[in-house]
Amino acid sequence: MQMITYDTHEIFTHVLTPEGAQIAKDGSHEARVWAALPARGQGTPVTPLQLKKAVGDETAKVGQGRAFKNGWISKEGDGLVKATDTIQDQTKEDLQEVASTGTLKAGEKVLADLRKRKLVIQKKGQWFTVHKGPQFSTSTAKPETDLTADMLVSGSWKTSTFKKYNFDAEGTPTSGGALHPLLKVREEIRNIFLEMGFAEMPTSSFVESGFWCFDALFVPQQHPARDLQDTFYLSDPKESLPPNPEYYKRVATTHEHGGYGSVGYRAPWSHEESSKLLLRTHTTASSAHMLYKLAARCRGETPEGDSKEFTHGAASTTETGQPSEDDGFRPAKLFSIDRVFRNETMDATHLAEFHQVEGVVADRNLTLADLIGSFNVMGHLQATQRLPGFMRVFFSKMGIERVRFKPAYNPYTEPSLEIFAFHPLLDRWVEVGNSGMFRPEMLEPMGFPKDVRVHGWGLSLERPTMIRYGINNIRTLVGHKTSIEGIENSPAVMF
């Protein structure tokens, strides 16, 4: 800005050392020696030993030599006496002058001698002269930061001062949208499925009927999951549109009387229960829709547009590799990641809504080994013969290498398996999901041939996200207590 200019000046002064200060106060060593002696002929001469005792070793040693040189003292017998009546202690006077003025009139030669005797030291100081600069002003006018149209019109730009650009300044952070951690993890999991050749199922209908959420899956109509305590039902509209009447009839009959090798539940079928509208409690409702569409060709129907893109279109072959008679079946690997709703008591790990990750694989003659890996079942297999199974591949892509399966019960799968993963930080096995092979009572009424098996597994999106981000209360992740800033600053996730 050049408001002011200034000149720098150097200045040298002298200050006393501790020894110098002592002399300025009590006199020089030689003066102290002189003062300790009797005048000639007026008392007993002082021996060197006595002198040492009187003035101290150092003063006696240094002082004697200088006092002799100055002609202040002389010898008498074995002792010392004063040689003059008065003395002028020049050193003491010089040091007093240095102490009060910082310099000495006597000049540099004497000062140099005092420095050599380590009685004074030189000090460097600085001072400044300040002058008005080219931009000097007594008022502070703010420099312009922008050249405006007004300034151009009025011509004031000619006399204005402009602020210089600061190219090193860090700009203000721009605000923009940010992905929620759940969406970041969803994207990672979606990529894992896509890498494994899975296609994403449409899951946009949050509202389902009892038929698709439960009946089609062969969940008994009296199952506790259907209770008001576990499921949110819609009051308006109350009833769903009817499903395909033939399929509906097959499902109802299988429940009530059995079929396809099953004895059924042998309980009266309730149309009311089946047509209730509800918020889907699992994405398996959407999987049921997709599987039903997938079986269209097997039922002799033309598949609806969107289900074609989900099949792998492979021509059917028998186990020996011979083309079989086309029964319409096409294998499929499907997945979905979307929201589900449960009427649960909310706590640190449960909300009334969460996201499910679901994988479904349909093919002929699949075995449990295709789902969980063969070395889990037959530990003696050679490493090269071991099949990892879909779930092991899936979880290992998520960074989870150690998985275990525990037999469980699920109304729509047999066998059913709970999935446990080893959590290295918690140092224990934690439940991460649920899986199984869909029951023939579910698949055959849809029209699937008998040799078609369908695997499924499901897990929540929230749990791996909470583990990933070290969050232990779901309410800090989802809901009104979530911090927007926390979401904006949440790092990207990579498995």
Q: Compute the distance between CA of residue 340 and CA of residue 462 in angstroms, rounded to an integer.
A: 12
Cβ closer to ligand PHE: 28 or 435? Answer: 435
Cβ closer to ligand PHE: 64 or 434? Answer: 434
Chain mean position to CA 3: 47
Identify the residue among 91, 286, 434, 490 touching ligand PHE (CB under 6 A).
434
- From 488, 460, 489, 465, select the one nearest 477 (Cα to Cα): 465
Q: Who's near 86: CB < 8 A, 6+ residues apart?
A: none
Question: 330, exposed or middle or buried, with CB in 10 Å at 0-12, 13-18, 19+?
Answer: buried
Nearest-10 crossing angle of helices 18-26, 90-101: 120
> Which phi and psi angles does 443 have, rounded to 5°?
-80, -40
Q: Who's near 48: CB < 8 A, 6+ residues apart?
A: 60, 64, 80
Q: Residue 285 CB, nearest distance to ligand PHE (Å)?
A: 9
Does 440 engage in binding with ligand PHE (CB under 6 A)? no
Cβ closer to ligand PHE: 215 or 358? Answer: 358
Cβ closer to ligand PHE: 358 or 444? Answer: 358
Q: Residue 287 CB, nearest distance to ligand PHE (Å)?
A: 7
Cα radius of gyration rounded to whole Å, the chain: 50
Q: Residue 454 CB, nearest distance to ligand PHE (Å)?
A: 9
Does 458 engage in binding with ligand PHE (CB under 6 A)? yes
- From 467, 436, 430, select the one nearest 188 (Cα to Cα): 467
Identify the residue among 20, 45, 373, 456 touching ligand PHE (CB under 6 A).
456
Q: Residue 319 CB, nearest distance to ligand PHE (Å)?
A: 25
Does 453 engage in binding with ligand PHE (CB under 6 A)? no
- From 446, 422, 148, 460, select the one nearest 282 (Cα to Cα): 460
DSSP string, 46-97: BPHHHHHHHH-HHHHHHHHHHHHHTT-EEEETTEEEESSS----HHHHHHHH
What is the per-residue binding string for ligand PHE in 190-229, x denoting contact by CB under 6 A? Answer: ----------------------------------------
Chain mean position to CA 26: 71
Identify the residue among 34, 214, 457, 469 touching ligand PHE (CB under 6 A).
457
Q: Residue 474 CB, nearest distance to ligand PHE (Å)?
A: 17
What is the per-residue binding string for ligand PHE in 274-313, x denoting contact by CB under 6 A? Answer: --------x-x-----------------------------
Q: Residue 383 CB, nearest distance to ligand PHE (Å)?
A: 29
Does 436 engage in binding with ligand PHE (CB under 6 A)? yes
Identify the residue among 221, 254, 376, 413 touching ligand PHE (CB under 6 A).
413
Residues 336-375 that bind ligand PHE (CB under 6 A): 358
Cβ closer to ligand PHE: 64 or 284? Answer: 284
Does 410 engage in binding with ligand PHE (CB under 6 A)? yes
Cβ closer to ligand PHE: 39 or 346? Answer: 346
Q: Who's near 168: CB < 8 A, 6+ residues apart?
A: none
Cβ closer to ligand PHE: 24 or 362? Answer: 362
Question: 198, exposed or middle or buried, with CB in 10 Å at 0-12, 13-18, 19+?
Answer: buried
What is the per-residue binding string for ligand PHE in 53-92, x denoting contact by CB under 6 A? Answer: ----------------------------------------
Report the DSSP pairing between strands 199-200 and 332-341: parallel
What is the maximum span of the chain, computed from C-alpha positions, in angstroms? 150
Binding site for ligand PHE (CB under 6 A): 282, 284, 358, 410, 413, 434-436, 456-458
